[in-house]
Amino acid sequence: MARKSMLKVIILGDSGVGKTSLMQQYVNKKFSTQYKATIGADFLTKELTLDDRRVVMQIWDTAGQERFQSLGVAFYRGADCCVLMFDVNNAKSFEALDTWRDEFLIQANPTDLENFPFVVIGNKIDVDETRRAVSTQKAQRWCAQKGNLPYFETSAKEATGVNQAFDVIGRNALQQDDVEGFDQEYPDGVDFSQYEQERSDCAC
Amino acid sequence: MDTSKVQLLYCKSKVYIHPSKSSKDNIAGYLALIRPDGASDLDILLSWVPEYLIRQSKDDFDNYVQVDLDPESGAISETSRVMVSPPPLNARSSHAFSIAVKDLFSIQVRQPSLGWWWGSLLFYTRTQVTLPALFFHDLESESTVNEQKRNCESFEPFSDSGDLYWGGQSFLKELRKYVKLVDATVERGLLLVNPDVADKLSFSPAAAKLVTPQPGDDNIAKLSKAWEDAKWGLMEKLAAVTRFSRKAGQQVLDRTPANVKAMLKVPEVEQLSNDFDSARIYLAEWALGIAENSDPRYDVVWMDSYDDLISSIGATDEEYDVISLAASVERRNPVTLEEWNSFFDLSGRLCITQTEVLDRIFHGGLEPSARTEGWLFLLGVYPWDSNAIERHSITSEKRNEYYRLKRHWWDDTERQNNDEFWKDQKHRIEKDVLRTDRQLEIFGQSDIPHPDPDSRFASQGANPHLEQMKDMLITYNEYNENLGYIQGMSDLLSPLYVVLQDDALAFWAFCQFMRRMERNFLRDQSGMHDQLKTLESLVRFMLPQLFEHLEKAESTHFFFFFRMLLVWYKREFEWDAVLRLWEVLWTDFYSSQFHLFLALAILDLNKEVIMAQLHHFDEVLKYINELGQSLDIDVVLMRAEQLFQRFSNTIDLIDRRRKDGQHAVLPSVPDSLRQLRDRKIVEVRESARPEGATGG
């Protein structure tokens, strides 16, 4: 039985930038200050219509602490779009975007490295302006350098900019999905045997 | 002197028979050794007489009481012999019985398990007479209680092998004066009575070789080998039969002893036992032995005679299945504070063995009131052999030490302002503490002003308990410098802090807990990787069908257990269940890695759904991630225990057959699986932090 057209989206970014909150706000329209730190990985799905096509977006939320990524590469594969997220009030989380992007490209190993769709999100714009650490211009400059990546500022808390961001995420993912040819049955793109191989080769 | 009287050599009070499942039907009696007039040692009678019958004669009753309380008075001396009425003949109505010790063939010994079952003895006779099992209600028996008290004084209760003194032990010691008891090496807990060479060959081949050394003549060895071959051949056939009758599909565990009967009723098994001379009893021992391992209703099983077992009710396939699956297990009530205190003598020193306490906690857990102290023992803050005074001084030392460590960073303002790594880590800690278990009342409110007005979290206010958690984790970040704080640790600390309600003690309890959890947090994640690999091997070994399915679903990296293993199911179970689970796991009762058997149990309990419905990794992950609410901790723990026993028994069987050398094709058991039977915790320390590395 063929599965619905599935778009796989991965959200990456430092711990505490609001990955879980963003996903919850988009899918379930709710917010809590008390989401626990994500351990391992989880995803939510949302059905949507993009230019008359019914698709299911599978949004993967991951742990932000760097070391936990090493076991999680399994679900990078087959991704159609990667969201790089930072907290506009936390300069370090912005500086980490380079690492997150590089790490993703190495692990997911998409066929066309140059044109893989990333979307950048600066979150927590609801916080007092005096605490702001990364200006819009600075973020936009970075995005321009990396190949004109779309940039959105959001407040997962107040639901500002969330739908707009995901609309673009969805479109870019769909385009990527068509390019990669995973348009009917996405999970075949996940190659775990290779994952196992990598693990046993590594010295750890 | 009344010549019709017989000499009472020994007796033990409050030895019960349990004629039915209901404890109302239990009958108290005396187990006695009686020498009829002029009888030789071999003709001494082993008798069980209901107490109410003895009470019918005041003289008899006084004598029984005297000999029970003062075993010396049953002494051999001609002049001071204690004479009583002859015991009643074997009587169905009263259940009384007497048998000459020479007619005893073997004795099945079952040690008591504190608060779970009574110690018991079951006598097999040479004459096919079946006798009821005898249960030693030690707590009611004044003589046994006295003896336990005496033993306690000179007794080392902290060794693993230290068994509690019980009534059956006293009886066996006395019986050894008149007959020879030899351990049957083929079955634990089976004693042979005055065995001849053939008996020994059958049941205790090693002992037979010892007592009949015949160098140059290898007939004995050959005979012994023949027995071994036949025996393991039998075992193998038996295993084949049970495997054959195993059906795939939903298997609800039946916990009745009827399964044992059912097992013996299988035509193939009956045929096997008829074919083989000593096989029948051996077979029964073996089959019941499986049930006995863990079945608290073992008592009931033994109420049926062996012949009854063979000839009783028909059986269903499902019932055979249960035997081959594993024995039944039960959860017990949690240890109350009162029971906990009763484990200690007046000086506050443990007066039962550590193993007994761990067994009790493994199977029942602790009531909240018993946790505060219990956890400090389980986590090794308090040594098991400490007394109250020693613990008092440990507590104050630990407090001082913690406050010293805390002050060390607290006063170092230079570092707090300038050390980037330190500031980073503090930020991580604060961020995570603020989202740890906020659903609990204790962490719910943030109604004191934040201690640092410049903090990014200042606007949220502060909660005094979360502030303590923060300080403890910053202190740990210093204390275990190489590891530092990693996400997930706040989840591990919070139950300790909430239960102990003392930051210093909770800190040390946490350090102890982290000794075994450190490998989960290593920079290279090798500890988590190893555990997921071990889980993979375990599932492949124990649930091959499910494993095959997971292979097809590309899910055998078992990544969906990452969260459960990292913080020990903290996110899956409700708060109270987590507390119960952790104290059970801390006992290391079967294995220091029992948490992997929990994962196995969760898979086993859900395997039908997984196999029927889930065909891709994302589906499996989603299903497992959302199991949380539907998991019943007691059900999972019971299944995990069953699976552990089945696992352990299977390895034993493989090893015995391999030793036998005739079975070329045996499954290999990787070392990672063998190590799952180890009770010593696995400690892996983080290496030094590379220059410039962040805490990520």
From B65-69, B340-344, B591-595, B666-670, the region with the lowest mean pLDDT: B666-670
Q: Is the pLDDT of residue A87 over 90?
A: yes
Residues of B in contact with A72 (CB under 8 A): 559, 562
Chain B stretch 414-433, residues whose beta carbon is closer than 8 A to a beta carbon of chain A: 424, 428, 431-432
Residues of A in contact with B556 (CB under 8 A): 192
Residues A145-155: pLDDT tens digits?
Answer: 999 999 999 99
Q: How close B526 comes to chain A (CA, Å)? A: 5
Per the structure, the count of domains in chain A is 1
Q: How many helices (H) and strands (E) does chain B have?
A: 31, 10
Residues of A in contact with B523 (CB under 8 A): 67
Percent of chain B, pLDDT > 70? 74
| Contact status, residue A37 vs residue A4, Cβ threshold 8 Å | no
Q: Is the pLDDT of residue B618 over 50?
A: yes
Tokens of B242: 């049970």
Task: Please indicate if any CB of chain A lies within 8 Å of the CB of B176.
Answer: no
Record: contact A41-B557, CB cut-off 8 A = no
Mean pLDDT of chain B: 78
With cut-offs at 50, 70 and 90, classify the pLDDT of residue B301: very low
Record: contact B428-A15, CB cut-off 8 A = yes
Q: DSSP letters along B192-219, please?
A: EES--HHHHHHH-HHHHHHHS--TT--H
Phi and psi for B177 in degrees, rounded to 5? -70, -25
Q: Tell me, yes or no, whether A184 lies in a domain.
A: yes
What CATH number did the domain enclosing A115 receive? 3.40.50.300
Give the number of residues written for chain A. Answer: 204
| Contact status, residue B513 vs residue B476, Cβ threshold 8 Å | no
Interatomic CA distance for residues B209 and B220, integer angstroms? 7
pLDDT higher at A194 or B370: B370
Residues B349-388: pLDDT tens digits?
Answer: 999 999 999 999 999 999 999 999 999 999 999 999 999 9
| Contact status, residue B520 vs residue B492, Cβ threshold 8 Å | no
Give the single-character DSSP code of B246: -
* The pLDDT value given to residue B129: 67
From B143-157, B457-471, B514-528, B577-591, the region with the lowest mean pLDDT: B143-157
* The pLDDT value given to residue B299: 28
* The pLDDT value given to residue B297: 31
Q: Tell me, yes or no, whether A54 lies in a domain.
A: yes
Interatomic CA distance for residues A9 and B541, integer angstroms? 35
* The pLDDT value given to residue B223: 36
Residue whose structure tokens are 């005096």? A130
Most A CBs within 10 Å, among B446, B533, B618, B687, to test the A interface: B618
* Domain extent at residue A89: 6-201
Ordered by where they begin, the domains of chain B are: 6-178 (2.30.29), 214-325 (no CATH), 337-508 (no CATH), 526-677 (1.10.472.80)
**Residue B411 in 3-state DSSP?**
coil
Q: What does the H/E/C string look like for A155-170?
A: ECCCCECHHHHHHHHH
Task: Please indicate if any CB of chain A lies within 8 Å of the CB of B560.
Answer: yes
Percent of chain A, pLDDT > 70? 84
Mean local confidence (pLDDT), B595-621: 90
pLDDT higher at A145 or B207: A145
Residue whose structure tokens are 């002197």? B1
Q: Tell me, yes or no, whether A187 lies in a domain.
A: yes
Q: Tell me, yes or no, whether A196 lies in a domain.
A: yes
* The pLDDT value given to residue A9: 96
* The pLDDT value given to residue A187: 43
Record: contact B554-A16, CB cut-off 8 A = no
pLDDT higher at A96 or B322: A96
* The pLDDT value given to residue B496: 98
| Contact status, residue A10 vs residue A104, Cβ threshold 8 Å | yes
- Which chain A residue is nearest to residue B436, measuring alpha carbons? A36
* The pLDDT value given to residue B75: 62
Can you name the residues that pair with B6 across neighbouring β-strands? B84
Q: How many helices (H) and strands (E) does chain A have?
A: 6, 6
Q: Tell me, yes or no, whether A122 lies in a domain.
A: yes
Q: Say what the alpha-carbon torsion angle B90, B92, B95, B99 is, to the nearest 10 degrees.
A: 20
Give the number of residues written for chain B. Answer: 696
Task: Give B301's Cβ-side CA count (13 Å radius).
Answer: 30
* The pLDDT value given to residue A71: 65
Interatomic CA distance for residues B650 and B103, integer angstroms? 36
Give the single-character DSSP code of A35: P
Task: Please indicate if any CB of chain A lies within 8 Å of the CB of B557.
Answer: yes
With cut-offs at 50, 70 and 90, classify the pLDDT of residue B653: confident
| Contact status, residue B514 vs residue B681, Cβ threshold 8 Å | no
pLDDT higher at B462 or B354: B354
Interatomic CA distance for residues A24 and A31, integer angstroms? 7
pLDDT higher at B676 or B303: B676
With cut-offs at 50, 70 and 90, classify the pLDDT of residue B3: low
Q: Is the pLDDT of residue A1 over 70?
A: no
pLDDT higher at B283 or A138: A138
Handedness of CA B360, B364, B365, B370 (dihedral sign): negative
| Contact status, residue A42 vs residue A61, Cβ threshold 8 Å | yes
Q: Tell me, yes or no, whether A1 lies in a domain.
A: no
Tokens of A116: 């893989």
- Strands A53-62 and A6-13 come out as parallel
- Strands B6-17 and B27-35 come out as antiparallel
| Contact status, residue B622 vs residue B609, Cβ threshold 8 Å | no
* The pLDDT value given to residue B142: 86
* The pLDDT value given to residue B276: 38
Tokens of A152: 């959105």
Interatomic CA distance for residues B169 and B162, integer angstroms? 13
Residue whose structure tokens are 């916990």? B255
**Residue A127 in 3-state DSSP?**
coil
Residues B18-71: pLDDT tens digits?
Answer: 876 567 778 999 999 999 888 888 899 999 999 998 998 899 999 999 999 888
Residues B233-279: pLDDT tens digits?
Answer: 444 444 433 333 332 222 222 333 344 445 445 555 555 444 433 33
* The pLDDT value given to residue B123: 86
